[in-house]
Amino acid sequence: MGKTAEIEFTWPKGFYSDGLHSGLRKKRLDLGWFFSEVPASAAGVYTTNKFCAAPTALTKKTIALKQQLQGIVVNSAIANSCTGAQGQQDALTEQLLMAKKLEVKPELIGVASTGVIGETLPMEKIKNGINKLQKTQNAKITEAILTTDTHPKTISIQFEQAGKLCTMSGFCKGSGMIHPKMATMLGFVVTDAKVSGSMLQEMLSNEVETTFNQITVDGDTSTNDMVVTLANGQALGQQIPELIKDTEDYQVFKEVYHQVLSQLAQEIARDGEGATKLVEANVLGAKTKVDAQQVAKAIVGSSLVKTAVFGGDANWGRIIAAIGITAADINVDTVDIYFDDIPVVTQSLGTAFSEEKVAEALSKDKVTITVDLHNGDKKGQAWGCDLTYKYVQINASYRS
């Protein structure tokens, strides 16, 4: 990667934001917005759950119009999902309120909601809240979108395009109901680089396959998932061409984009409901990339692997069982498994290992499971978390 540097979270040039407590939650921030001072190229990926929530459907439709967007209003606490015609109307009202306040066309405003399914938004509170939102550059929105998350998940990277310093910043939320099929929960990435909407969409659709689509917390896919990216070109300062495919700038942008999405996705897995550890599965030697990713995701998705990691138990039989039930092309005699770099299975047979060293590997904040299928040369990764008492506690009483 070229000259890039991760920095403290900051808004790229020409982006503004704010967040506040509107009364949807008891105390915590619950409403926010962010927007570009000019229309930005926009791309999005959305839940494949058939019960797509009203705000998600509206944002999808809006971005599809011209692959442009200027801003997004987001609330937590209530998902505005399974709310019928009322829910659709409420999402449209939010879009109109923000458009009116910013004096831009409603077709340039997206809407996102997250929280409990089946409740309608208290529109008076939303209306008052939007009225109070300011044009600032604070990071309050990264808090306002959280639900059971324990902390905001953000990243900012600086890089160059056309010789100018650009910034790409992303933030997301997500902790439960995480098993994305196209995208997960809410993820937002903004940049002042200049990229066409169609190129941005192509890159996003590709990159989510190896990032957001490769995490899982509990195997459940939300109705409100979306990852949206806005690129406003404001770093460049003058009329220069948009990013051109396969140039050096393109490569840099692509790698920065991948890093942003990958890091945000891992942050979600690490902060999975009740989690104490991030679990990374690295799969090597697969016949196809799809096989590798599928096997990696099966490992981090297994309840039995997740509880074994929580208990610090080197129960590799559960990893074998998870691998064996995927549709991937497997040679059942050639599988190696490692915890960190300690081999526990060689050629599909258990191998003697130091229980002490493996226990140490399993007690780390990040547990790394590597599987070499010895069946090809393709690789894949996935991220999940351990399954703990606290996961049960959180979810036995979420709504009530």
Q: Is 150 assigned a catalytic role?
A: no
Pick the binder of a copy of itself from 30, 62, 318, 383 (CB under 8 A): 318
* Token pair of 100 as six digits: 């009116």
Tokens representing residue 127 in the block? 């209306």
For residue 44, give both structure tokens. Answer: 């999005």
Q: How many residues are recorded in the chain?
A: 400
Say whether residue 350 binds a copy of itself (CB under 8 A). Answer: yes
Task: Tell whether 331 is in a known binding site.
Answer: no
Select which of 62, 142, 184, 221 is catalytic. 184
- Residue 287, token pair as written in the block: 């016949």
- Here the tokens at position 178 are 């995480």
Segment interacting with a copy of itself (CB under 8 A) among 4-12, 14-22, 102-110, 341-349: 341-349
3-class SS at 94?
helix
Phi, psi angles (nearest 5°) of residue 56: -65, -45
- Could you tell me which of 307, 272, 225, 256 has the C-alpha nearest to residue 383? 272
Q: Is 147 annotated as a binding residue?
A: yes
The HSE-up count of residue 41 (CA atoms within 13 Å, CB side) is: 19
Expressed in angstroms, the distance from the first to the final Cα of the chain is 48
The reply, when asked if residue 395 is annotated as ligand binding, is: yes
346 in contact with a copy of itself (CB under 8 A): no
357, exposed or middle or buried, with CB in 10 Å at 0-12, 13-18, 19+? middle
Asked whether position 354 contacts a copy of itself by CB under 8 A, the answer is no
Binds a copy of itself by CB under 8 A, chosen from 36, 62, 80, 81: 81
Q: Provide the token pair at 154.
A: 């953000």
Nearer to a copy of itself, 3 or 399 (CB): 399
> At closest approach, how far in Å is the CB of 389 from a copy of itself?
5
Q: Does 83 bind a copy of itself (CB under 8 A)?
A: yes
Q: Does 58 bind a copy of itself (CB under 8 A)?
A: no
Q: What is the DSSP letter of 130?
A: H
Nearer to a copy of itself, 118 or 241 (CB): 118
Q: Does 321 bind a copy of itself (CB under 8 A)?
A: yes
Q: Which stretch binds a copy of itself (CB under 8 A): 157-165, 201-209, 242-250, 310-318?
A: 310-318
To the nearest whole angstrom, how small is the minimum distance from the Cβ of residue 380 to a copy of itself? Answer: 17
- Binding residues for substrate, by number, are 147, 173, 184, 273, 395, 400
